[in-house]
Chain A
């Protein structure tokens, strides 16, 4: 029954999407609900398969559920899928968030067919990225996501959606074309020529060509890094993110922040790290510095925001900085430090996915009701300077409670999942780059400032008369928050199931990098 399970995972949503289009052609008069149900069933099925996959997954067995078929033999392109401890949390995150997002999108009424079919195409692309082990296939899936995302932001987004959509598209494409060149260079300079990411682990480090006076591997690393860094996004490539996140409809923001950002760091860990270990070591300092800049810059920007959603968007920039810092710790002399760093990074990827999903969903809840989401009204608004909400705890207690939980998770309160992974990233960072990490810890403080301040102005104080009539969260909204909240609390109290999934793979990665000649030379 587990034959080709990964193929099913990828293509079930696409089949759903095709089914919707077929139905729309065959039957002219349609109740839009049919599309919603198809989407729900497709993502539900996908989630179910993911859970089966998780149950059968053996963390110690390395790469598993492999499917390998020759695709274009002449060019060594394969249809090669597989999951290991790095991809399995991401696979789960993708199908879990997709399922939740479909429910969260239930009130979408503007061209339902388009929305849900694009959403499923996006799902296919995301899942494909996380299970591909062939660089060409990886690249195809990586790019396939762009078009649905463009339309999802551009058609169903907020007032500045057109600009946000094309900016997202251009930025990501800019990154990925460089990735294409890096990929081709890896292909042609490795012997034998291959896109197979597992084979390349052996062959890629042996590339010793030079170009323009630099070792070619440096340039390949840079080309790949640009592609991944834009997706993360690493400062200074982050400017597409706040715009896209704010303008996108709620469910799409969830996917953007919850899954798409992780692709950048996933790509680094899946491709750059094992293929170019020497360069990873050389660039680890820069990675750590960029990580800390991300943490501080994102947090500082979040403090300055008056729009809740924009604040959340910048908090993502900050939180992805932790991942980068943890990843940079791979060079730590102290093996435990390196392990803490890398495991922390992958766990932070997962935890940030769930926390940020809650943040965006909850911001969406208030936006649906009040049609704005200002903490303070901004300049130029008719109520400039006034507090946007205030005292919401008195008439939306459930909402207030969930928001409190989410904010605390976001600022890294112990016993919630964010704390564990952020702490691990810092432990890792500290054992490799002491000063940089100490500066980075300031981010914790800054994170607390904006989350607490936002909570204070939205939920405490005097209730704004205008919002007395607001209703609390309905069953659907509570229903999609509870599983996320469960994961956040569960992994906060008892993180070892997640850690157990991840750490054998990460240990191998650390060994691989630390056994490379550059690292030994450093010692």
Chain B
């Protein structure tokens, strides 16, 4: 579709840009300054309405640079919802009181814009552009606590790691471009078919995995994430562990499913027999095991959750490694439930931080008695993160394993994953233990805050009650795995 015609389908993204500017302008006008928060919420709502208007569209925009398809739509809703929740919580976070809030909001908007593009790019250049848009906003947001050394450190580490891995990825892409003469996923896929010597493809796959792996915190490119997660403001940690990670998975799924996979046989295989599936499977095993084992030793809650989020990336990679449709559905299902449970857990942490400076797991001591509702929800989220019924985390994990068994591939990986589930129980429940089982040593009363109660409830309800019936969610996701057209 031509550039001009494409604009009508690009309205949600344009809306985000307009509101980014509006927020900055509002910040400059003293009488409007206090309305930036409301403005940002309104912006998200309008964007989601515009997004609804383009629902069901499936075509390539801007001469095949990006695409608009049900697949990207699903992810855009995830981004919008998680951004909305995080913005609302940020408003009431003590940690963020010292910063220029509008600046923070504007950056979040830019980040969100980048995420939108990431989930819909079908062109190598667009990938780099969108990843960079997301990354640069992330660097600043991680370091937004100007006077906090840890926050500064995390920002710097993030920059160095990000720049490095994007560089490697770019190099990998240059191999692809040099070989195929095209930047478009579909055209690259055509020129990669039936190669005699697929060495080039292997090189490209490995290097591109480095770039994407950094975004989703896949081992061995995960080193930045515990430090960044610990140093960044907790709201941003929550956000980084959900939205950009989801975007990373969207990008990876689209890139690998479209470019590197051959569907001519009965089961999907790598194009020209490039076995990227096994590479991903091994990396997935490493990711989940490293994430879980290192999480065991953490005393700092944020670090622990950072490692746990590495482990979750491992579980999702596991399903992607079989490259079937149901695997993709299961990953999307997982991301959907993971958004609620992980954000929920972080929100409880943020609240606990607000009222009594909780940093280590031990600091949760007595929380169960002092704040029964939030502590109860925390247990629910932990249960769900572990993947136990009757929570949504169980259903999601169930589908991941189902995808593995259905594909009749990588059973060893499924066994490693279930063992990892058991390991994860131990550290997740160290929080529950601290909240309920340990003797109460500090007895500061905590008053529950209505906004937090509400936001946590928004996360808790789908987590707790999805088990009643998830058919329609599954059907919706199953209808969203349609990738956009090539040109």
Contacts and interface: CB of A to CB of B under 8 A. Distances in A.
A174 B429 CA distance: 15
Contact of B390 (A144, A173, A211): A144
B422 A173 contact: yes
A48 interface: no
B11 to A, nearest CB: 34
Contacts of A184: 398, 401-402, 405
Contact of A166 (B388, B433, B469): B433
A74 B471 contact: yes
A177 B394 contact: no
Contacts of B388: 143, 146-147, 173
Interface residues of A, number: 34
Given A143-B394, A169-B425, A180 B418 contact: yes
A188 interface: yes
Given A72-B470, A170-B425, A181-B418, A154 B433 contact: yes
A177 B422 contact: yes
Given A74-B474, A173-B421, A165 B437 contact: yes
Interface in B398-448: 398, 401-402, 405-406, 408, 411, 414-415, 418-419, 421-422, 425-426, 429, 432-433, 436-438
The main secondary structure of chain A at its interface with chain B is helix
B383 interface: yes
Interface in A55-77: 71-75
Nearest to A21: B376
Interface in A246-280: none
A139 interface: yes
A405 interface: no
B422 A174 contact: yes
A181 B415 contact: yes
A212 B388 CA distance: 29
B373 to A, nearest CB: 8
Nearest to B423: A170
A162 B438 contact: yes
B389 interface: yes
A72 B466 CA distance: 12
Contact of B418 (A147, A154, A177, A188): A177
A188 B419 CA distance: 21
A196 to B, nearest CB: 16
Contacts of A162: 433, 437-438
B467 interface: yes
Nearest to B418: A177
B197 interface: no
Given A72-B469, A74-B475, A150-B429, 5 more contacts: A75-B402, A143-B389, A162-B437, A177-B418, A181-B415
Interface of A: 71-75, 111, 139-140, 143-144, 146-147, 150-151, 154-155, 161-162, 165-166, 169-170, 173-174, 177-178, 180-181, 184-185, 187-188, 211-212
What are the 3 tightest A-B residue pairs by CB atom distance, in nearest-first order?
A: A177-B418, A140-B389, A184-B405
Interface of B: 369, 379, 383, 386, 388-390, 394, 398, 401-402, 405-406, 408, 411, 414-415, 418-419, 421-422, 425-426, 429, 432-433, 436-438, 467, 469-471, 474-475
29 contacts: A71-B469, A72-B471, A73-B471, A74-B474, A74-B475, A140-B390, A140-B394, A143-B389, A143-B394, A144-B389, A146-B388, A147-B379, A151-B436, A151-B437, A154-B437, A162-B433, A165-B433, A166-B433, A169-B429, A170-B425, A173-B421, A173-B425, A174-B419, A177-B421, A180-B398, A180-B401, A180-B418, A188-B406, A188-B408
